[in-house]
Amino acid sequence: MFTEAMTYLQTAGNNYVLTSFVFLRLLGFVYFIAFISLATQVLPLIGEKGLTPAKSILVTSSKLHAFFSSPTIFWFHLSDNALLIGAWLGIILSFIVMVGYANVPILLVLWLLYMSYVTIGQLWYSFGWELQLLETGFLSMFLVPLLDVDQAYAPPIIVVWLFRWLAFRIYLGAGLIKIRGDSCWRDLTCLYYHYETQPLPNPLSRWLHFMPKWFHQAGVLFNHFVELIVPWFVFAPVRQLAGFLMIFFQGILMTSGNLSFLNVLTILPCIFYFDDDTIRLWASWMPKEMSRIETSFFASYLTIGLLLFIAYLSVPVIINLLSSRQIMNTSFTNFHLVNTYGAFGSIGKERYELIIEGTTDAKITSRTKWTPYDFKAKPGDVDRSLPIIAPYQPRLDWQIWFAAMGGPEYSPWVLLFIHKLLENDEGTLSLLANNPFSEKPPRYIRVQHYKYHFIPPWKKGVWEREYIGTWLPPLSKKELYK
């Protein structure tokens, strides 16, 4: 019986060679986008002169011990050059994976690099998809040969199961957090608001917002069906139907808003709901036959150990799923190997925006002319078209969205941002769409608070807004230094 079991573990992955090939290319794409986002934003966010410099949190006398409690290679050397070199190394390696070449060292470096940035990234890299990419990247190392870069490698069947377990937790966690969270998910009204109040709407968001109420209610029901019921299909003969519904659902989400690379990333583990024959049915251009390297005895034993390890790490995750006090997007290990997931457990019913304005006037009067700064993706100018920016994530825009929902005391980093704008800091300004004070820096900056509402798409304009009040009064350098 033992021999039969080991034979199964060695051969069962033979029909997932093409599946693994597609998965790895898409993983390379997600890593590529993630590292492009790092290369273009990391210095103004956490560099030496960034908004929240990473050096402020890397203080210890024992770097090796610190690495295991807060894993990042930047314990051993941190500089702006190091941050950029790491990001560009990630871009190069992810491109190599994307075009068809991967082995353990390449995927290990990508995983370790991205974890290093997440560890020091503070609020800018605190999103659930950071953890999800790290867990996905960790498991992917067990799909590929140790040194050979041939992706025509039969993945261990246990790793296929573990990716299905990941997809199961992602969807069920997202469904449970909604049912346990905002009452609008239970009374089927959340989509009355979501398209308008989500972080960064896209052009289709406005059309969806003005759909009939029955359409929104049906959308919530479909959401509950896919997130709460479909995950269980993995244990049934209709597993491939589950995979199709899960991927289709992510496609809908991609078209309805700019949600970073989350949707593409969530598709990744769902690919393992399909075998090679199914993928060829859907994509006739895929190769009919692929030479393959079968799973070795060593790999079979190794993945049995991996299964036991993941099972052990899954215990607190399962307890969390069953808990009425479920928390989402949380790690129970420092290396983020098995995590909890969820999204939009609560839905904002109003859209709040912060409009940051500056002036060169030496004295503030009722006649002072205020000029707004425009962000790359977040709403500001009520007539500006809605962007399509995903899977790229403008991280400053996302954090401004969070800040608008509370007072300045909950987002102290905004004062640092204002300080940088008063100095016309080149790095900070690179995160914005424009610099209205290119000739000389502003003397004062203030932050105004508004409510935004969509204008119907068949009418002129995009938004209408209602003034709430001053979020931060006019501040100069002198007042900030106080």
Residue 296: burial class (beta carbons within 10 Å; 0-12, 13-18, 19+): middle
**How much is the pTM?**
0.95
Comparing CA positions, the residue from 440, 471, 473 lying closest to residue 364 is 473
How far is Cα 368 from Cα 4, in angstroms, rounded to an integer?
82
> Longest Cα pair distance anywhere in the chain, in angstroms?
87
Question: What's the pLDDT at 455?
Answer: 97
- pLDDT per residue, tens digit, the chain (482 aa), is 656 666 666 676 788 999 999 999 999 999 999 999 999 999 999 999 999 999 988 886 577 778 888 999 999 999 999 999 999 999 999 999 999 999 999 999 999 999 999 999 999 999 999 999 999 999 999 999 888 876 578 889 999 999 999 999 999 999 999 999 999 999 999 999 999 999 999 999 999 999 999 999 999 999 999 999 999 998 888 899 999 999 999 999 999 999 999 999 999 999 999 998 888 887 666 665 655 555 566 677 788 999 999 999 999 999 999 999 999 999 999 999 999 999 899 999 999 999 999 999 999 998 999 999 999 999 999 999 999 999 999 999 999 999 999 999 999 999 999 999 999 999 999 999 999 999 999 999 999 999 999 999 999 999 999 999 999 999 999 888 76
Using an 8 Å Cβ cutoff, are 242 and 231 in contact? Answer: yes
Question: What's the pLDDT at 417?
Answer: 97
Question: What's the pLDDT at 5?
Answer: 63
Question: What's the pLDDT at 286?
Answer: 62
Question: What's the pLDDT at 356?
Answer: 98
For 122, 178, 397, 424, 449, the CA distances from 200, given in Å and listed in that order, are 21, 20, 8, 26, 17
* Backbone torsion region of residue 459, taken as left when φ is above 0, otherwise alpha when ψ lies between -120 and 50, otherwise beta: beta
Comparing CA positions, the residue from 30, 287, 246 lying closest to residue 151 is 287
Question: What's the pLDDT at 154?
Answer: 85
> In the chain, where are the structural domains located?
2-340, 351-481
